């Protein structure tokens, strides 16, 4: 009687331990993906775009690995945009543009390149602030 009472609880504990372990194993892989893209971003190979997605800078040489990571990142971003856009009753483009405005306003570091509304790649420098898209509300 006491054994059958404890077993379900043990199963729950074991299951929780397995889940935690799998997350711990997966986490470093995710962190590595960030590092590869982070260094590509810092070296001007990839950059944020006014449409809310990440792109390979024109003329830059990006490895197949970087390109694949960019594509995966954009797929996940689009899923997040779509989910929120559906909730708010707006188009995916509008949700993505709103996020792009937030990114352009504060998440493009000095030295990074970004693609503006006119599809031109620019670099944010100490003397050149980020050119905001026209559809972004004034700060």
Partner 1 sequence: MQNLRSGPRGWLYAAAALGASLSAAACIPVRLQAPDEPIEINLNVNIRQEVIVRLEGEARDLLQDNPDLF
* Inter-residue contact 54 to 70 (CB < 8 Å): yes
Residue 107 Cβ vs partner 1, minimum distance, rounded to whole Å: 6
Nearer to partner 1, 81 or 114 (CB): 81
| Closest listed residue to residue 114, CA positions, set 60, 41, 62, 61 | 41
Nearer to partner 1, 82 or 123 (CB): 82
Nearer to partner 1, 117 or 131 (CB): 117
Q: How many helices (H) and strands (E) does the chain have?
A: 3, 4
Nearer to partner 1, 14 or 99 (CB): 99
CA 54 to chain CA mean position, Å: 8
Separation between Cα atoms, residue 24 and residue 26, nearest integer Å: 5
For β-strands 46-49 and 113-115, DSSP reports them as: parallel
Separation between Cα atoms, residue 49 and residue 131, nearest integer Å: 11
Residues numbered 16 to 75 that lie near partner 1 (CB under 8 A) are: 30, 34, 73
Residues numbered 76 to 115 that lie near partner 1 (CB under 8 A) are: 76-77, 80-81, 84, 88, 90, 93-95, 97-99, 101-103, 107
Which residues lie near partner 1 (CB under 8 A)? Answer: 30, 34, 73, 76-77, 80-81, 84, 88, 90, 93-95, 97-99, 101-103, 107, 117, 134-137
């Amino acid at each position: 009687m006491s054994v059958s009472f404890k077993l379900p609880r043990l199963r729950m504990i074991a299951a929780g331990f397995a889940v935690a372990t799998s997350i711990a194993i997966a986490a470093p892989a995710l962190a590595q993906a960030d590092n590869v893209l982070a260094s590509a971003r810092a070296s001007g190979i990839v950059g944020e775009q006014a449409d809310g997605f990440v792109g390979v800078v024109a003329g830059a040489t990006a490895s197949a690995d970087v390109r694949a990571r960019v594509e995966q990142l954009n797929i996940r971003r689009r899923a997040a945009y779509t989910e929120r856009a559906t909730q708010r009753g707006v188009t995916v483009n509008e949700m993505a543009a709103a996020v792009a405005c937030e990114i352009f306003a504060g998440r493009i570091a000095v030295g990074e390149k970004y693609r503006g509304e006119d599809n031109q790649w620019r670099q944010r420098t100490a003397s050149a602030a980020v050119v905001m898209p026209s559809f972004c509300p004034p700060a």
